[in-house]
Amino acid sequence: MYNVDDLYEKHGKPLGLELVAGKSGLSRSIKLPEVHRPGVALSGYLKSFANKRILIFGNVETQYLKDLKKEERIRRLKSILTPQLPAVIVAGRFQPVSELLALCEKMGIPLFRAKMATMNLLTRLTIIINEEFSPLMTCHGTLVEAFGVGVLIQGDSSVGKSEAALGMIERGHRLICDDVVRIRVREGTYLEGSGPELTRHLMEIRGIGIINVAHLYGAVCVRDDKRIDIVVKLEEWDDHRFYDRIGLDEKYCDLLGIKVPYHVLPVKPGRDVVLLIETIVLNHRLKEMGYNSAKEFNTKLLDTISKKQNAKKLKNENLSQSKS
């Protein structure tokens, strides 16, 4: 459950929020990832008024309240300050009217002042809350960035995920997180991966232990989060299993409702896993630019077969004509 205190602790400083009343209500839950201005609700029109959203008072709302008589001002404020309301924010450094302060304190509704202008605050807060409410999952794997592409390396325990990631870091690529990857949907269209703060920039290598990649290889070899573009699953080589040797059939895996290109990479002694992952990444970038090596090869192959069949057919026709 996401509440007002979570928002204040994590984003209060960047947003310039100052708590001025209603401290007892910081535990109120934020049930909708939406923010709005009271608008016509202040004039008394309460039909379809969303009383579960954070309210933002700007210059217009503040001036409107000041122009009302005290009794009317209290009545209008009481109509919109409901028990379900998460919080109220007065933007643009404006001083809240005394009645708003008193009512919020009495009802236990957190009241904040913000340094940001109203529209900037509305935009920033909407983005922040939408991100906090976006679907989240945790999976086992290692997330790295190679050639600007986010690669989620998965596989059974001890298959060599961390060792492959370490080899990629050695070649100048970057580590996002190892072992535990938190995946979140961003803007409803793509996935972003990050790691827990406790294990950030750390890797576990069997036989060595815990290492800090940022200390060993420098800050340029790590980053906190990255978009997940492809998933590579490492598995032990199985002689009885068929592995794709052309790559015409593109595979995808579903993560939180988002389809991500998926590759199975068999591992055995003598195979350079780091080089193979780099090749997968470069091939992915080519596909993104509209060039598909497998499809081009298939087109050439079909064209060659067609030409040979036509030549054979023409030869047979010539033989038939010569006999006749």
Q: Which residue has the tokens 């294990």?
A: 199
Known catalytic residue: 225?
no
Phi/psi for 139 (5° steps) reads -135, 165
Q: Which residue has the tokens 């008072």?
A: 57
Residues 6+ apart with CB under 8 A from 141: 152, 153, 154, 155, 161, 179, 181
Q: What is the pLDDT of residues 59-78, one digit of tens each?
A: 888 888 888 899 998 998 98
CA atoms of 315 and 312, how far apart (whole Å): 5
* Region 245-271 average pLDDT: 87
CA 170 and chain centroid, separation: 27
Q: What is the pLDDT of residues 131-152, one digit of tens each?
A: 888 888 999 999 999 999 999 9
* Region 259-288 average pLDDT: 91
Domain 136-293 sits in CATH 3.40.50.300: yes
* Region 179-205 average pLDDT: 90
Band (93; pLDDT cuts 50, 70, 90):
confident
* Region 80-95 average pLDDT: 89
Nearest alpha carbon to residue 229 among 153, 119, 132:
153
What tokens appear for 252 in the block? Answer: 């995808």
Name which residue leads in pLDDT, 218 or 311.
218
Residues 111, 116, 118, CA angle at the centre, nearest 5°? Answer: 80
Quick one: pLDDT at residue 191?
Answer: 94
* Region 165-178 average pLDDT: 93
Beta partners for residue 88, in sequence order: 55, 111
Q: Which residue has the tokens 């573009």?
A: 229
State the chain's maximal CA–CA distance in angstroms: 113
CB 17 within 8 A of CB 114: yes
What is the identity of the amino acid at 254?
D
CA atoms of 73 and 183, how far apart (whole Å): 46
The listed CATH number (3.90.1300.10, 3.40.1390.20, 3.30.460.10, 3.40.50.170) that belongs to domain 4-133: 3.40.1390.20
Q: Which of 47, 66, 240, 245 is catalytic?
A: 245
Q: Where are the domains of the chain?
A: 4-133, 136-293
| Long-range interactions of 258-263: CB distance < 8 A, separation 24+ | 258/185, 258/189, 258/190, 258/191, 260/152, 260/191, 260/228, 260/229, 260/230, 260/231, 261/229, 261/230, 261/231, 262/230, 262/231, 262/233, 263/230, 263/231, 263/232, 263/233
Quick one: pLDDT at residue 174?
Answer: 95
Residues 6+ apart with CB under 8 A from 191: 183, 184, 185, 227, 228, 255, 256, 258, 260
Known catalytic residue: 179?
yes
For residue 253, pLDDT over 70 is answered with yes
For residue 12, pLDDT over 70 is answered with yes
CB 184 within 8 A of CB 212: no
Please indicate, yes or no, whether the overall pTM of this predicted structure exceeds 0.85: no
Q: Which of 179, 182, 200, 295 is catalytic?
A: 179
CB 173 within 8 A of CB 127: no
Quick one: pLDDT at residue 324?
Answer: 60
Nearest alpha carbon to residue 145 among 211, 98, 187, 192:
192
Quick one: pLDDT at residue 323?
Answer: 64
Name which residue leads in pLDDT, 241 or 189.
189
Angle at which helices 273-288 and 161-170 cross, to 10°: 70
DSSP string, 64-124: HHHHS-HHHHHHHHHHH--TT---EEE-TTPPPPHHHHHHHHHHT--EEEESS-HHHHHHH
For residue 238, pLDDT over 90 is answered with no
Q: Which of 161, 184, 233, 263 is catalytic?
A: 161
Name which residue leads in pLDDT, 242 or 198.
198
Q: Which of 23, 52, 70, 140 is catalytic?
A: 140
Nearest alpha carbon to residue 151 among 54, 76, 39, 228:
228
* Region 258-268 average pLDDT: 92
DSSP, res 317: H
What is the identity of the amino acid at 248?
L
